[in-house]
Amino acid sequence: METQNTLDFNRIADAIGYIQDNFKQQPNLDEIAEKVHLSPFHFQRMFTEWAGVSPKKFLQYISIEHAKKLLKEEKATLSQTSHETGFSGTSRLHDLFMNIEGMTPAEYKNGGKNLSINYSFAESPFGNILVASTSKGICHLMFADEEEMAFEVLRSQFPNATFHQKLDLIQQNALFIFTHDWEKLSQIKLHLKGTEFQLKVWETLMKIPSGKLSTYGQIARKIDRPKASRAVGTAIGDNPVAYLIPCHRVIQSTGTFGQYHWGSNRKTAMIGWEMAHSHSN
């Protein structure tokens, strides 16, 4: 059953999809509102409450030209970019308070045997999510437009684990990231099943600052595998923890945002939302 938060986000995502499809025509507020069956006043208010900025301002952040500008201005490596950005105040970055612990070879091979996994459903600015944790950290987070299907995806990743539908403190702490209430946020620990290469790629993704973008090629260079852009793309596509590991911040070298496992409109919404919040801090 869809929550009101999910319904509202779906309308916003539909609006963003319409904007992208008609980008060259620069649709006005009335046209966009009509496409999502809202009055211009109601749409403007809903969008501003969700994004923190007006629809017009938001469009500036998600435009292709803006993405190209960001990439052009970005330094040659992610490391240089991270140092350039600054790490204080409300612009704290993922790599300051997140770390990955890889599962043991036995846990990796036996499908989570002897693992006890808690999971719960929660709301985010981008729709309903499923979040799951072991005693060591978050092991899975995905957008759950259909809850039963989302749980089946989780269970397929750990077919031999024991599951409990329970919201625990590890999950609660991680969910604060969506509210930007970072005063309440302790270090987020991730407990992930992945190859050494995948873990290295995922760790690198966490160093992309909120409100900034990178490319597959830049990630490949950062891990000293400059010719492995395609393998990097595969590892990014296998990311088991949406948003916390920000694969949505990786776009094509041409400046186009590209596809996303949980929908291109959602990826665009996430990029724009982060840019809007970064500029407002």
Q: Is the pLDDT of residue 1 over 80?
A: no
* Conformation bin of residue 225: beta by default, left when phi > 0, alpha when psi is -120 to 50: beta
What is the residue type of 261?
H
Q: What is the per-residue DSSP string for 247-276?
A: GGGEE-TTS-----TT-HHHHHHHHHHHHH
Taken in order of first residue, the domains within the chain and their CATH numbers are 4-62 (1.10.10), 68-280 (1.10.10.10)
Q: Record the pTM.
A: 0.84
In this prediction, residue 94 carries a pLDDT of 43
Give the contacts of 256 (CB within 8 A, at least 6 positions apart).
64, 67
pLDDT tens track for 2-61 = 566 777 888 899 998 888 888 777 788 999 999 999 999 999 999 999 988 888 888 878
The per-residue pLDDT for 96 is 44
Q: What is the CA radius of gyration of the chain?
A: 19
Buried b / exposed e over 153-185, threshold 16 CB at 10 Å, is ebbebbeebebeeeebebbebbbebbeeeeeeb
What pLDDT is stored for residue 52 in this prediction? Answer: 85
pLDDT-derived band at 104 (thresholds 50, 70, 90) equals confident
Q: Which position has the token pair 């966490």?
A: 206
Tell me how many degrees the CA angle 276-68-80 measures, rounded to the nearest 5: 80
Residue ranges with strand state E in the chain: 98-102, 116-124, 127-134, 137-143, 162-165, 188-192, 214-215, 250-251
Cα separations (Å) of 230 from 56, 68, 197, 217? 35, 21, 13, 9
How confident is the model over 124-168, as pLDDT tens digits?
999 999 999 999 999 999 999 899 999 999 999 999 999 999 999
Q: Return the SS3 of 205.
A: helix
Q: How high does pLDDT run on average in the chain?
A: 84
- Note the pLDDT tens digit of each residue in 190-219: 999 999 999 999 999 988 888 889 999 999
DSSP 91: G
Can 139 be counted among the known catalytic residues?
no
Kindly state the average pLDDT of the residues 230-237.
94
Pairing between β-strand 250-251 and β-strand 214-215 as defined by DSSP bridges: parallel
Q: Give the C-alpha separation, 113 to 101, whole Å.
A: 17
Q: Which tokens sit at 80?
A: 């240089």
List residues bridging with 100 in a β-sheet. Answer: 190
- The tens digit of pLDDT for each residue in 79-100 reads 443 344 333 333 444 444 678 8
Note the pLDDT of residue 26: 79
- Alpha-carbon distance of 8 to 15, in angstroms, equals 11
Other residues' Cβ atoms within 10 Å of the Cβ of residue 42: 12
Catalytic option among 100, 247, 250, 276 = 247
Tokens 């490319």 — which residue? 215
The least confident of 135-149, 155-169, 173-187, 238-252 is: 173-187
Q: Sign of the C-alpha dihedral, residues 17, 71, 272, 264?
A: positive
Tell me the residue length of the chain: 281
